[in-house]
Structure 1
């Protein structure tokens, strides 16, 4: 596998981990019966989110060994935004409007433009 392709795979998997981490944080707040800080910190959903964020940092750092941050980060953020918007709608029944769709299309267009050499 080309090292650049491998680095892009790290970016994509890191974005997926960011999405999972955010979804777990949301779930930690939905399942909480207490709004205290200790309840948050001891929630298994919250702790799971932190684990996925940690994995994300390692994978993204690995990707930056071969990719410029000015290209890798917009792709990472855009993929993450898209996955979170779709997953939040599907899992938590959050509102997804036509404006969301247009925004995601614009992000995708920006990613394509920014990632072209």
Structure 2
């Protein structure tokens, strides 16, 4: 896989993960539909858009079967960002699952 393709794939995963964190900040303690229209939700949508563009650029150079496993990287990044930025709990099971996902990504990518 070319370096630029790898960069786009990682950027897409990172932007999607940051979008999820932004969605969480924008959704916390809100119940009425109109409350979900706020800067955090809109920012999350923009982050997702950027991630989608990066993903499409990666897809333009790489077969989907090679690239798709990189979507698992989003899971790992969301877990790490939720623990660090949102103060969510770190667990042995969560860490174990994260390690397994990374091992699977490594096996498929190499």
Report the TM-score when normalising by structure 2: 0.93
Per-residue CA deviations over 1:35-54 (Å, capped at 9, x if unaligned) read: 121221x2110000000011
Any residues of structure 2 matched to 1:19-58 within 5 Å, and which? 19-30=17-28, 32=29, 34-40=30-36, 42-58=37-53
Matched, 1:69 2:64: yes
Any residues of structure 2 matched to 1:1-117 within 5 Å, and which? 4-30=2-28, 32=29, 34-40=30-36, 42-75=37-70, 77-116=71-110
Count of residue correspondences: 110
Q: Which runs of 4+ in 1 moved over 4 A?
A: none
Counterpart Cα distance in 1 of 2:62 and 2:93: 31
Report the TM-score when normalising by structure 1: 0.87
Offset of residue 95 of structure 1: 1.4
Per-residue CA deviations over 1:6-45 (Å, capped at 9, x if unaligned) read: 0110000111101110000000012x5x4121221x2110
Counterpart Cα distance in 2 of 1:58 and 1:90: 26
Q: What residue ranges of structure 1 are gaps of 5+ in the alignment? A: none
Q: What residue ranges of structure 2 are gaps of 5+ in the alignment? A: none
